[in-house]
Structure 1
Amino acid sequence: MTRLSLIPVEILYSIFSLLNKSDVSRLSRTCKQIHQQATPRLWRSYHNYNQQPYNAFLRAIVTNPGRAKHVEELHTSNVSEDDPREISENDIQSFQSAVSNLSLPDEFKDRLNEGIKEGYSDPMLALLLCKLPNLKNLFLYRPDICDLICELFGHANSGKFSGLDNLRRFSIETTDISCAVGTVRDYGGVLNMAHEVQIVQLNDETMSPSQFQEGSSAVEHLHILEGGMGTDAMRVFTQSCKTLRTFNYTFGNVNYYDDYFKPQEAVKELERHKDTLEELTMLYDDDRLKQSWYDLTAREWYMGTELQQFTKLKKLRSGMHSLLGLLHAQSAAMETYPANPQADRERPELTDVLPASIEHLTILYADVRIIPHLQKVGVVCKNQFPNLRKVIIGFCSESTEKDIQFEIPGLELSVLYQTPEEREAYVYGREPYSWVGSRIFRD
């Protein structure tokens, strides 16, 4: 064991990273030195994906607070008020004793105790959150009724509770976009506290302003995936953030009659962060999004030249239509695309859209009409876009012949040929329980 003590900690951690949790657990029982190094890794992250009761994990944390300090990440799913679990008398007494030591309002603690006695998961998880002082990442997958959890976030946000001060990343994914409105609104407290927030399936035209006061939110990186927000909701989010560095938005499968915000409106609302925003995704489903009751050639349907004001923007992802007002020829929306030669002449060049700070550009839902725009970018790149290094183009396979030969000198160019199914998978395909899971965010 003396020789083992000479092994650098970094090497031990590398060894642990190659093993699954059960193997690390067995290895930790071989000697005291290994146990001391392996324990933080064993307890760093807890995953509860199968509606398992929280009894065992909560019992381990309550009975041995030393373990709690190692927990930095918590992934949970299907938290429900309507699914009580059997709980032993010993656990009830232990958990209720832990509740009594919390610095929270008595009325809240009474409700925690009552819920614990019945075996509900909402109070169990709320108590667990109170006992994890170093929790940094929290992922709620398909939560149902989480009144106590949301109220706990409210107490933390108002300064009445300090147990979640280290929380940095929060993700919530709803079961069904049709019921996402109330669910996300109730989490206003944690959305004000975390520095990085991911919301999957948000459908809210008018996000309640009472939950998000202007300039109050610590969120710097905001990912809204498979969502559908109205302009008012967009405004609430952008105004509430003090400093926004990332805004990633993908449009989901929502009711087409909703008054969702358009690319130009998004850019206008994001202008308050034009000196800090470094990454922007504005990705709509161009195959079927646009409808006949909208004037698709209207200026508001693409971003326009205002992006040039964003002096720190390095990474931009969007569709050909959202950038330039051009739909690929085989898009279902082309059937209602009104001919308007005047509007066609008013469309900007790509060189007039991109900010000088751009480094990485992704354009999807494209056809051959994007090539002249890219070639012009290449001509002026050295002087106008000196930091641009990588370009990804996603051609629609039904609108574009394969093996198009073109290059942009000095730039790394990646070309994709995507069927409708591949486009949908590329934009929306994601691993459950993951942070920003779509492939588009790993380009």
Structure 2
Amino acid sequence: MEEQTGPDRVSLLSLPPEIQTKICSYLALSFEHSAINAVLRTCKQLHEIALSLSVSFFRNTAFYGDGDGSCSRVRNVQFLRYILIRKPDLGKHVKTVILGSFSSDNPRYEHPKDAALPSGIKSTKEEIAVFRETIQKKLGQFGLEKYPWYTPWVEEWTDGLEQGSTDAQITLILLVCPNIRALFFEQPRGAPIFIRFLFVVGLLSNAIPEAHYPDTPSGVPLVNVQEVYHEPCEVVSGYKDFAMHAHPILFLPNLRSYECNFAYRGDRGTPGLEILKPRFSSVGKIVLRACVVSGPVLSALLKTCKALKKLEYTQFCTARSLIGVNPQQLTEALLLHADTLEDLYVHFDDLWDKRWDWQDHTDILYMGTRFSQLRSLKRLTVSMQCITGILAGPPEHDNGAPQMPLKVEQAPSLIECLPESLEYLKIVACGEGIQEKAAELLRTIEQRQRFTRLTYIGFFFNRWLMESEIELRCSLPDVQLDIRYQDRDEYVYALPRPSWNSGLGGLRNRISRIYAADARQQYLVRREL
């Protein structure tokens, strides 16, 4: 084919600037290395287009498995030098920040780049002077000097910058980038400057009555953040202080999505959440995957939402797990958002004994008829036990406790528990015990008596616990009945349970937004098949 020539030939340079920007924006979205820097070196026209995009996506972490996932101090210094000294107008174009593990100063978690280039981990005296002036100017407008902790904190921050601390460097990056939309970070390993910064942001977001605002609220750090994700640095111990970190995050006025992997708050207290105002947070989507949190903790978290629209909660149970949320507690917490909740995904890991104190109150083993009051719910994915009070098989670990019943006799039927507004229903971890309740639901739907909006009904059975296949039918052409038999690996995949080893295939390489964006997307797609 001959190359096109003449006035009709279309090239990248001939396209309108907005189209060029759109095309180049895809080159800036990269898991580890951005291709946008190559565009900067092509020509003056594309350099102008690509310049702002070159900083829109700031990622600082090693691949998990190539190191410890740590942030690079060299990378931080280079970025601060670029957006604060060489091109000070670029900070406003940073939209996404992804951070691996960091601390105040611990060589154990050193990034490979820092070990190879130790001379690059600290800023010059002239740069430190600029950084100090920037901190004082940015925060000085808020009247924070009245707080006794403010001056020592700023001094500690400046000292950290002089020493090349990742804690101090990262906090400064977040301070000087006013238009960040998405923030992903790994649980800090002792980062007092960053943690204090989060609480200062909460203070300035008017969550506490005595907060002082300048005339221009847009000057508040992180005010434009819409999405926050964080995860633990150690899978074995879990994210025990997730609630303390979530507390100031939920103050962010434009927050729309909050996600945490392996949140661990199994006690009955709510440290970090108890002073949050009810119905204060603008967050509409909360995702807690592979988590161990108590009922009061989950309730305190959901109470902060003005109008929750989506919740995903998968419970991770082990022999070491403390008491987690039970289905009845979940129902009570969700009823606060009966008018707004549209999408719920909940899996309680039915194969494990949660060590609930159920002997005198077996009704806590299922969500109950009050669950039907979620009148706006459209999509529901739920494990069998918590919607029916029936187990597919005996729990695998009871730790010497009384065996949980395979069936709670007084549990209500499905048609008594499910909201009429449902359009999509998937029940997972099913066993033969659900057949009667499922058949009753399908008969009711066929008679057009109730659940007239349902167009998809799925029952996913644990194949290895089944003695025979299930006979369920629905004659309505506009209702898809989906019956599947999953093996054990597929069951575990749907939770997902974390792997105790930290190599490939572990928690981070399946559902992490920091270390495994592609694998995570594949996981989510496969889970919905």
Q: TM-score range with shorter-chain normalisation?
A: 0.7 to 0.9
- CA gap 1:375/1:369 in 2 versus in 1, 3 angstroms: same
Corresponding residue of 2:18: 9
Corresponding residue of 1:354: 418
Aligned equivalents of 1:76, 1:340: Cα separation in 2:
44
- CA gap 1:14/1:197 in 2 versus in 1, 3 angstroms: same
- CA gap 1:296/1:5 in 2 versus in 1, 3 angstroms: farther
Aligned equivalents of 1:123, 1:441: Cα separation in 2:
40
Q: CA deviation at 1:242?
A: 2.2
Corresponding residue of 1:169: 227
Aligned equivalents of 1:400, 1:340: Cα separation in 2:
14
Equivalent residue runs for 1:168-317 within 5 Å: 168-176=226-234, 178=237, 180-193=239-252, 194-204=255-265, 205=267, 206-208=269-271, 209-253=273-317, 258-291=322-355, 294-295=358-359, 298-317=362-381
Matching residue's letter, 1:439: L
1:109 aligned onto 2:154? yes
- CA gap 1:407/1:355 in 2 versus in 1, 3 angstroms: same
Equivalent residue runs for 1:72-151 within 5 Å: 72-83=95-106, 86-89=121-124, 90-104=126-140, 105=144, 107=151, 108-151=153-196
- CA gap 1:401/1:68 in 2 versus in 1, 3 angstroms: farther
1:363 aligned onto 2:427? yes
- CA gap 1:210/1:263 in 2 versus in 1, 3 angstroms: closer
1:35 aligned onto 2:15? no
Structure 2 unmatched ranges of 5 or more: 1-8, 63-69, 108-113, 115-120, 145-149, 205-211, 213-218, 497-506
- CA gap 1:157/1:293 in 2 versus in 1, 3 angstroms: closer
* SS across alignment from 1:139: strand
Corresponding residue of 1:55: 77
Q: Deviation per CA, 1:391-427: give whole Å up to 9, x if none.
A: 3332112113687565433323444433333312221
Aligned equivalents of 2:131, 2:184: Cα separation in 1:
23
Q: CA deviation at 1:279?
A: 1.6
- CA gap 1:12/1:59 in 2 versus in 1, 3 angstroms: closer
1:432 aligned onto 2:512? yes
Maintained 8 Å contact 1:227/1:254: no
Aligned equivalents of 1:282, 1:394: Cα separation in 2:
14
Aligned equivalents of 1:371, 1:165: Cα separation in 2:
51
- CA gap 1:380/1:7 in 2 versus in 1, 3 angstroms: farther
- TM superposition score normalised by structure 1: 0.88
Aligned equivalents of 2:15, 2:321: Cα separation in 1:
66
Q: CA deviation at 1:257?
A: 6.2
Corresponding residue of 2:463: 397
- CA gap 1:251/1:376 in 2 versus in 1, 3 angstroms: same
Q: CA deviation at 1:301?
A: 0.8
* SS across alignment from 2:461: strand
Q: CA deviation at 1:291?
A: 4.2
Provide the aligned length of Structure 1 versus Structure 2: 441
- CA gap 1:300/1:72 in 2 versus in 1, 3 angstroms: same
Matching residue's letter, 1:207: T
Q: CA deviation at 1:211?
A: 4.3
- CA gap 1:133/1:157 in 2 versus in 1, 3 angstroms: same
* SS across alignment from 1:184: helix
Q: CA deviation at 1:172?
A: 1.5
- TM superposition score normalised by structure 2: 0.75
1:386 aligned onto 2:452? yes
- CA gap 1:348/1:362 in 2 versus in 1, 3 angstroms: same
Maintained 8 Å contact 2:226/2:257: yes
Structure 1 unmatched ranges of 5 or more: none
Aligned equivalents of 1:413, 1:331: Cα separation in 2:
28
* SS across alignment from 1:398: helix
Equivalent residue runs for 1:14-29 within 5 Å: 14=23, 17=26, 22-29=34-41
Percent of aligned pairs sharing the same letter:
21
